[in-house]
Structure 1
Amino acid sequence: MKPFSKRSLLLSLCCAMSLFAQSAFADLDQLRHTGVLKVAVYNDMQPFSGKSGGIDVDFANALGKKLGLRVNLLPFDAGENLDDDLRNMVWKGHYLGYGPADVMMHVPVDRRLMAENKKVSIFAPYYRDRVRLVRNARAIPDCESVDCLVGKRVGAEKVSIAAMVLLGEQGGKVRDSVKIYDTAAAALAALKAGELDAVLANQSEIESVVHGDAGFPLSDLFFARLPRQGWVVGMAVRQDDVELARALQAAVNEMEASGELAQIFAKYGVTQVKP
């Protein structure tokens, strides 16, 4: 048998890589042929996604149904930054062989992020989240500034925007009042149990636990390092997957118009704040 030359081996490798790329990045017709839509969702991002499901999980399944596709979820841990997440889960795949997906949920619709990630298309904004304060009305009857938190028991999630601004606001004015928890859900549970007077967290996290209880009202506090309008999330596909993006956008528009998307949010106690 004639041995492979280096040139033949290189050509074979290139062909294999080409076939892999074609299978990894399927256009809409290919997706309909396979009948599967691979959707990337974050691990441990309640109330949007996690082991017990969430808004993004239900949303993804509804989108798959609209497109006539079965959804295959690809849960993943957040990377060092969003550029890593988009590379690993949308346009390239993780070096360990996990991914990429056909679409990624819960991607910030941000101009700078878009400009820095030319290989993806970020579109279909479906929710605006923001950091808010929830308080025990008996312990803190009113709160219009961080002054109301001095000397109180205030919870926040570790390594979160809420913890960062609480600990650093006005030179650490309320730092001694802050207690850090592993998750926002744990801090909110402590609030409801009477172990805290207030919690700073994302509105979606608060609503999913408090469920509109009048004893735990929400307040808007100004923090210099936080955008007043919060942030908007949408989804992302590979830049070349134009037909898939159009089909997903059309499905989102239909769900918005029918109220189906708002119902998914309501299932988890969250009000869908439209961008």
Structure 2
Amino acid sequence: MTVTTRRRLLTQLGGLTTLAAAPSLARADETALERVRRLGRLTVGVYHDLPPFHVQGVGIEVQLASALARQLGVQSSLLPFLAGENMDDDLRNMVWRGHYLGWGPADVLLHVPVDRPLMISNPKVQIFGPYWRERVVIARDLAKLPTLDSLDPLVGQPVAVPGLSLAGWLMIGAEGGRLSNHLVTKLDNGVTAARMLQEGKVVAAAGLRSELESALRGDARFEIGPLPIPRAPRDGWAVGMAVRKEATDLAQALQGAVEQLSGSGEMERLFAAGGLRWQRV
């Protein structure tokens, strides 16, 4: 399962003040946490172009990386990267081996689905620390669509949804493709879809909760709700982080950091700064 468009082309990323080189080799007698503290930095893998979590060095997960590092008593150092073909590729490149072009791995990768099948298929990593629950949703113009209990009101109406996304696949295939002729799908992400809705170009926009809520929050003209498609995952999925399988002490420290940030209210504040309503996962 992915939360951003998977790209085949990997490129060198420049212009980010926090861009990190691959972590130094560990000493034979030190643990992952000891190594992080010796170096004085936590190298954090973050997805490139994933609004509102990270875009050009800014976003919720940039702030989260800093907050996690502070809890460990070190500085954060971002290692942004473009998503691979699937989550297995990302875990290999960013967590346990590193990319063949020479960058990575990071100490920890953010925005990893906390998903049992994914854990089973990737025995070289630990996936833990859920801090956000993602969902597939749809936003609508209340003046044009006061209610939306089914897809029927959308038939023949322009609806924006990024085609290369879970929301896009669900909408394109819904009810035998009845909506497909009026879907605007050549979009980078759900934020772009939300902007089309704000500009009056479409009556509704579908995408991830994080994308639509960060773009539309506070705009009373629109309402965000569940995507009325039976195949849409109602409860969504938890998003957390991953480290190497043997990095048990680092995983425990990061889990503790998440709990501390959640309990103190800092997690809620940093998500609110990115336009999202955070709730404990």
TM-score, length basis structure 1: 0.89
Corresponding position of 1:87: 92
State how far apart, in whole Å, the 2-side matches of 1:45 and 1:55 are.
Answer: 10
2:188 to 182, 192, 199: 182
8 Å CA contact retained: 2:189, 2:211: no
State how far apart, in whole Å, the 1-side matches of 2:256 and 2:214 are.
Answer: 28
Greater Rg, structure 1 or structure 2? 1
8 Å CA contact retained: 1:154, 1:198: yes
State how far apart, in whole Å, the 2-side matches of 1:129 and 1:179 are.
Answer: 22
Q: 1:165 aligned to 2:170?
A: yes
8 Å CA contact retained: 2:206, 2:227: no
Q: 1:249 aligned to 2:268?
A: no
Distance change (3 Å), C-alpha of 1:26 and 1:88: farther
8 Å CA contact retained: 1:222, 1:228: no
Partner secondary structure for residue 71 of structure 2: helix
8 Å CA contact retained: 1:262, 1:272: yes
Higher mean displacement: 72-81 or 49-58: 49-58
Aligned length: 256
Distance change (3 Å), C-alpha of 1:103 and 1:52: closer
Q: CA RMSD in A?
A: 1.6
8 Å CA contact retained: 2:214, 2:275: yes
- The code of the aligned residue for 1:99 comes to G
Corresponding position of 1:146: 151
Corresponding position of 1:271: 277
Corresponding position of 1:231: 237
CA offsets 1:80-106 (integer angstroms, 9 cap, x no match): 110000000000000111100000000
Q: 1:212 aligned to 2:212?
A: no
Corresponding position of 1:3: none
Distance change (3 Å), C-alpha of 1:184 and 1:23: farther
Matched ranges for 1:12-161 at <5 A: 22=26, 27-161=32-166
8 Å CA contact retained: 2:262, 2:280: no
Could you tell me how far 1:26 is from its partner in structure 2?
6.1
State how far apart, in whole Å, the 1-side matches of 2:26 and 2:70 are.
Answer: 24
Q: Which structure shows the higher helix fraction?
A: 1
State how far apart, in whole Å, the 2-side matches of 1:146 and 1:23 are.
Answer: 58
> Structure 1 vs Structure 2: percent identity of aligned residues?
45
Corresponding position of 1:8: none
State how far apart, in whole Å, the 2-side matches of 1:36 and 1:26 are.
Answer: 14
TM-score, length basis structure 2: 0.88
Distance change (3 Å), C-alpha of 1:52 and 1:72: closer
2:228 to 203, 222, 225: 222
- The code of the aligned residue for 1:113 comes to L
Distance change (3 Å), C-alpha of 1:154 and 1:95: same
State how far apart, in whole Å, the 2-side matches of 1:136 and 1:222 are.
Answer: 16
8 Å CA contact retained: 1:144, 1:219: no
Could you tell me how far 1:141 is from its partner in structure 2?
1.4
State how far apart, in whole Å, the 2-side matches of 1:271 and 1:239 are.
Answer: 32
8 Å CA contact retained: 1:35, 1:70: yes
